[in-house]
Chain A
Amino acid sequence: MNRLAGISKKRRVKIALLKALMLIAVAIASGIVIFLAVYVLARGLKGISWELLTTEPSYINDTIGILPDILNTLYIIIATLFFVVPLSVGAAIYLNEYAKSRRLVAVIEYAAETLSGIPSIIYGLVGMLIFCELFGFETCLLSGALTLVIMNIPTVMRTTQESLKSVPDSLREGAFGLGAGKWRVIKTVVLPCCVDGIVTGCILAVGRILGESAALLFTAGFSHDLNGLFEGLFKSGATLTVALYVYTKERAGLEVGFAIAAMLMLMTLAINLLAGAVKRGFKKRRDL
């Protein structure tokens, strides 16, 4: 059964060539992924020690610890989500439940797309101008978090919108029929149904926050002091990615750099898997 039997030689060569090109491309792409993962993990994992994870950097002992950076990352994630969830869920609800003008919806969606296309260095610059200088917050985690809020609104808005769209209209009509007002319907019927979109959006936002560096350099700064959540928010601090950059650039901290890189890589993987699992889990529950 040779399917290529009755085909001219020229065509056969061309087909073989295209196939070969595709395989080469796939080999290159997968080679890059495998190499990156293996190399970063191999070089980084051995640098991760209990001491590194649980201490502050000390000039006296000449040791580097990344506990402050881990905490700063955590604080920024908490602060960003705190603001971004209500804002973007509200925006998604407006678009899906209230908006009547199609043109307005198109404008808002275009703006969201524009926001997601703006490079993070520009966010960093504008964040610095607005939050650090205009509002007078100075360089601190809160300024960084507020900058990231603007960046992440489109992400959470989009996933929420998608899940709002999949809430069947019959549910809304049922509630209206029972005499509920619009706000009550949204609060008690629509919102509980779109939790999956909000959760997925938050996970994706956490992924973006973890990976962000250019937007934080000028807004959140890069000191490595150990602080609690509330005092920390008003002080300058480096997140893990910024610390990676600073350590590889300034002090001879390549090993620390790779250790952080390996941690970030594992976290990225975990976040991707988690986002997928959440999506699937909720879909299953909805299909029931």
Chain B
Amino acid sequence: MKKTRRLEGIIHGCFLILGLITVGFVLLITVYLVISGIPAIIEIGPKEFLFGKRWASTAAEPEYGILPFILTSIYGTCGAIAIGVPVGFLSAVYLSKLAGRRIRTVAEEAVSLLAGIPSVVYGLVGMIILVPGIRKLFDIPDGASLLAAMIVLAIMILPSIIKVSMTSLDAVPKEYEDASLALGATPVETYFKVSVPAARSGIAAAVVLGVGRAIGEAMAVMMVSGNAANMPGLFESVKFLTTAVASEMSYSEGLQRQALFSIALVLYVFIMLINALLNGVLKKRGEK
């Protein structure tokens, strides 16, 4: 009897360890990024690093200012949201409220296909179609630009925005809509004035999720944005926080390599803030 109890205790302990594994990994990642990211920031100087406008890591007198990357990531994400959210949100309202069953099933399948396509495939198609298209349309020497990255990111965040918005629109109690219809509002008015406000926290969560996706994407963006460390402009060739790390990591050494870890740390801080925001939005919905 005592033996079985001890055995149960050991098994309980094993599962406890497994249960804590996600916490452990989060801590491990955080600690590693901080340890490897801080030295370069101190050596370069926090102000010069975060607000320096020039990144010339391979120059004779290297400069490590990552403001161009930070701004590019912010602008790129904002652009992707500005294009992707209206399209995704309006599609979600249509699919959730107006579309027939069959269209909905097909659309859901299409959305999961879009979500599952590897980012390099987006990058490839963007590189072959979008980049030359932008070059011709705006008559600029190279179409690989912030604009191309924004469009690719907008397409890549569409599935999460549509899916999450649809889920929260579907969850709006039918009584709300019925009441509005009974008061004489037309269906379309009801959807936009009753259902959408009722689902607003879910839609907000969808947007925040999209921001997280867009700011963390590396490969697709690397293939269409030109990869020069310019300050962001719609038609400039730019580097994001993610692509700065991805493009230089393989040949970097010394301080340059450490600076790349610092960039990753900055990106990580952004992601953590977004996560906290997302959690806040979702929690608010839970309390309501």
Q: Give residues of chain A (199-220) contacting chain B, Cβ–Cβ below 8 Å.
A: 207, 210-214, 217-218
Q: Is the Cβ of A118 less than 8 Å from the Cβ of B271? A: yes
Kindly provide the distance from the CB of B188 to the nearest chain A CB, expressed in whole angstroms.
5
Q: Which of B58-66, B120-128, B140-148, B167-175 contacts A (4 or more CB under 8 A)?
A: B120-128
Q: Is the Cβ of B121 less than 8 Å from the Cβ of A108? A: no
Please count how many residues in chain B sit with their CB below 8 Å of the partner chain's CB atoms. Answer: 79
Q: Is A64 an interface residue (CB 8 A)?
A: no
Q: Is A110 an interface residue (CB 8 A)?
A: yes
Q: Is the Cβ of B118 less than 8 Å from the Cβ of A212? A: yes
- Taking CB atoms, residues of chain B closer than 8 Å to A125 are 33, 245, 249, 260-261, 264
Q: Chain B: interface secondary structure?
A: helix
Kindly provide the distance from the CB of A203 to the nearest chain B CB, expressed in whole angstroms.
11
Q: Is B88 an interface residue (CB 8 A)?
A: yes
Given contacts A117-B274, A117-B278, contact A29 B88 (CB under 8 A): yes
Q: Which of A74-82, A94-102, A166-174 contacts B (4 or more CB under 8 A)?
A: A94-102
- Taking CB atoms, residues of chain A closer than 8 Å to B268 are 118, 122
Q: Is the Cβ of A272 less than 8 Å from the Cβ of B19? A: no
Q: Is the Cβ of B23 less than 8 Å from the Cβ of A121? A: no
Q: Is B119 an interface residue (CB 8 A)?
A: yes
- Taking CB atoms, residues of chain B closer than 8 Å to A95 are 19
What's the count of A-B pairs with C-beta under 8 Å?
228
Q: Is the Cβ of A248 less than 8 Å from the Cβ of B127? A: yes
Give the contacting residue for B116; candidates A15, A90, A268; CB below 8 A: A268
Give the contacting residue for B223; candidates A24, A112, A218, A248; CB below 8 A: A248
Q: Is the Cβ of B15 less than 8 Å from the Cβ of A98? A: yes
Q: Which residues of B contact A (CB under 8 A)?
A: 4, 7-8, 11-12, 14-16, 18-23, 25-26, 28-29, 32-33, 36, 86-91, 93-95, 98, 107, 109-110, 112-114, 116-121, 123-125, 127-129, 155, 158, 162, 186, 188-189, 192, 212, 215-219, 223, 242, 245-246, 249-250, 260-261, 264, 267-268, 271-272, 274-275, 278-279
